Structure 1
Amino acid sequence: MDLRNLRYFLTVAEQGGFTAAAEQLHIAQPAVSMAIRKLEQQLDLPLFDRQGKQVRLTDEGEVLLRHARTILQAADDAEREMRELHTLERGEVRVGIPSMLGSYYFPPILMAFHHRYPGIRLEVVEAGTRKLQQMIHRGEIDMGVIVTDIPPEDLETQCFLHDQMMAILPADHPQAEADSMDYEAFFAEELVLFKEGYFHREVIDRISQEAGLPPRISFEANLIPLIKQIVSHGYGITTLLKMVVADDPSLVAIPFTQPVWLKLSLAWRKGHRLSRANQTFVDLVLEQAAPIERR
């Protein structure tokens, strides 16, 4: 099966039409149509129902689509690994990182990696852990940071950080000098939380459900500077890792009475051999992690 024709097929399926696929591939539309016809002739099966400019996958096309993604991803992986087999002067690392860690934990690591391996292209994608898992499976990124209290069965994981989630209060809050904060007191407050799909929001939603304490969400935002400003001005409280407010005198971090520990890991597709560049990035992350953080 010709990989080029298979790639054209995948693009038509994803773009929903031959013209849109041709534009995406930067080739003439007749070339796309010819490639699909050859593929259908080779398989002796119809892959698309053609209705004017719109096309729809047949049942046979749906089956091929699943295989096409796997085959093309494997081909791309093989090509990239062959390029990088003997040298780290070239290569690519595509990693997904949630904004909290991307802003306060990873910058020194990313800069150190670029300094050591300036020829390797480093692409960083910001998203919540749930979306990052989906992007890993689709092959859009090579690896991503996820919470692994319960490791996913379909991903390989390597823990690099074990840290405590803290209640974040303005410095003049009545409980700012308390040793800890219980769940009942926390959920009685107006809350400023990340949107769904981010790891610290998922943890709070789980605690709320288990404790039977509905959250009083006053603000939802994914911008950490905005969240910190809202909390420091007394419009609510939130939860973050302590590192996020370590240098901010207007905010205090208090542990929960029942400590909330997060186990954060780099994750990639199970059974997928990391390229040399990606493995080198994982090794650097683990090298920079303190021993206590990897327990």
Structure 2
Amino acid sequence: MDIRQLKYFLAVIKEGQITAAAKTLHISQPPLSHQIKLLEDELNVQLFERGSRNIKLTHAGNILRIRAEQIINLIESTSKELKDLGDGLHGTLNIGTVASLGATILPQHIHTFNQKYPNINFRIFEGDSFKVMKLLNDNIVEIGILRTPFNSSIYEYMLQPGNISSDPMIAVGNSKWSWEDIKDLNSISLLNIKDTPLIIHQRYEKRILDSCRRFGFKPNIFCTSDDIRSMLTWACNGLGVAIVPKSTICLVKTRDLKFKEINDPLLETKVALIWLKSHYLSTIAHHFIDNFKSYNEWYNY
């Protein structure tokens, strides 16, 4: 097994067909099929299910896919480290971000950074907070952008000042939801929605449950999700009331949603820039962190 075979293997997965992968790799189909067969023989496993028109991975193939991606990224990262001995004015920075921040916070920082370092490119990986932290732990990205909470014993991080990035939770429902009891309130308590079917993000589930316990009740949780856009869509369809950070309301464009801020400081979240402790950071990553630190006076911890 060598790096070339792993790259061939990943190309086949990406393209979905041997023929398409061969074309992308600028080789003919028989040599590519032969290399995949050699890889299977060496590992004594079947990587793809035969007979289907499109490529379908076996369980062994899926395991190798994960490892192959990690190996290729580690090799590229190592090569980058060894070459990164200059001032970090050229190259590519891999960033992991939750989708909502990739659409709101990140673009303005990319813009200001690009003005200083126009020859640096970006690879952006989007996912939920758990995926972003896994990308960091697997050395696929150097920088992660997400919301609190996270394990601060593993990551170095920076937060914006509270008056800039403190993000209260809101209760979001469609226009048909009963707003009569709270329509005159500037903000509400969790008690105001204690009997309402709730749609909550699994990342904030513990905080919400703890806050409800402080008020002496068990919430009526209709659904937990790891995607805020889906949560807002469900709320728009009248399936329940979503509890989400206020800044995410812009992710779904509709007039059918209304919201009220939840007056509970313990539910507030902050935007954080994080990276692994005691881990190599490229010069480019250091530049990017410095740019964040200077922009809106981010606080380093």
TM-score, normalised relative to structure 2: 0.64
Matches within 5 A, 1:93-108: 93-108=93-108
Q: 1:156 to 1:26 in 2, by over 3 A?
A: farther
Match of 1:120 in 2: 120
Q: State how far apart, in whole Å, the 1-side matches of 2:271 and 2:82 are.
A: 30
Match of 1:165 in 2: 168
Deviation at 1:142, TM superposition (A): 4.2
Q: 1:287 to 1:184 in 2, by over 3 A?
A: same
Deviation at 1:166, TM superposition (A): 3.4
Q: State how far apart, in whole Å, the 2-side matches of 1:242 and 1:68 are.
A: 37
1:183 to 187, 190, 203: 190
Q: State how far apart, in whole Å, the 1-side matches of 2:278 and 2:11 are.
A: 26
- Secondary structure (helix, strand or coil) at the match of 2:267 reads strand
- Secondary structure (helix, strand or coil) at the match of 1:222 reads helix
- Secondary structure (helix, strand or coil) at the match of 2:268 reads strand
Match of 1:30 in 2: 30
Q: State how far apart, in whole Å, the 2-side matches of 1:8 and 1:15 are.
A: 11
Matched, 1:74 2:74: yes
| Kept in 1: contact 2:70–2:140 (CA 8 A) | no
Match of 1:248 in 2: none
Question: How many aligned residue pairs are there?
Answer: 274
Q: 1:215 to 1:156 in 2, by over 3 A?
A: same
Q: State how far apart, in whole Å, the 2-side matches of 1:254 and 1:188 are.
A: 17
Q: 1:202 to 1:97 in 2, by over 3 A?
A: same
- Secondary structure (helix, strand or coil) at the match of 1:88 reads coil
- Secondary structure (helix, strand or coil) at the match of 2:188 reads coil
Match of 1:129 in 2: 129
Q: State how far apart, in whole Å, the 2-side matches of 1:165 and 1:173 are.
A: 22
Q: State how far apart, in whole Å, the 2-side matches of 1:94 and 1:122 are.
A: 6
Cα RMSD over matched residues?
A: 4.8
Match of 2:284 in 1: 277
Partner AA of 2:44 in structure 1: P
How far does the alpha carbon of each residue in 1:241-270 deviate from its partner, in whole angstroms, 9 at most, with x for none? 46979xxxxx88645245313244334567
| Kept in 2: contact 1:146–1:266 (CA 8 A) | yes
Q: 1:253 to 1:115 in 2, by over 3 A?
A: farther
Match of 2:254 in 1: none
Deviation at 1:114, TM superposition (A): 1.0
- Secondary structure (helix, strand or coil) at the match of 2:201 reads helix
Higher strand share: 1
Partner AA of 1:25 in structure 2: L
Matched, 1:214 2:220: yes
- Secondary structure (helix, strand or coil) at the match of 1:74 reads helix
Q: State how far apart, in whole Å, the 2-side matches of 1:127 and 1:45 are.
A: 32
| Kept in 2: contact 1:73–1:139 (CA 8 A) | yes
How far does the alpha carbon of each residue in 1:176-226 deviate from its partner, in whole angstroms, 9 at most, with x for none? 6757532121445677x6xxxxxx723554345443111468xx96299x8
Q: State how far apart, in whole Å, the 1-side matches of 2:282 and 2:67 are.
A: 22
Match of 1:240 in 2: 245
Match of 2:201 in 1: 201
Q: 1:139 to 1:31 in 2, by over 3 A?
A: farther
Q: State how far apart, in whole Å, the 2-side matches of 1:223 and 1:66 are.
A: 27
Match of 1:197 in 2: none
Q: 1:107 to 1:62 in 2, by over 3 A?
A: closer
Q: State how far apart, in whole Å, the 1-side matches of 2:278 and 2:74 are.
A: 11
Matched, 1:288 2:295: yes
Deviation at 1:277, TM superposition (A): 1.5
TM-score, normalised relative to structure 1: 0.65
| Kept in 1: contact 2:88–2:282 (CA 8 A) | no
Gaps of 5+ in 1: 194-199, 246-250
Q: State how far apart, in whole Å, the 2-side matches of 1:67 and 1:96 are.
A: 19
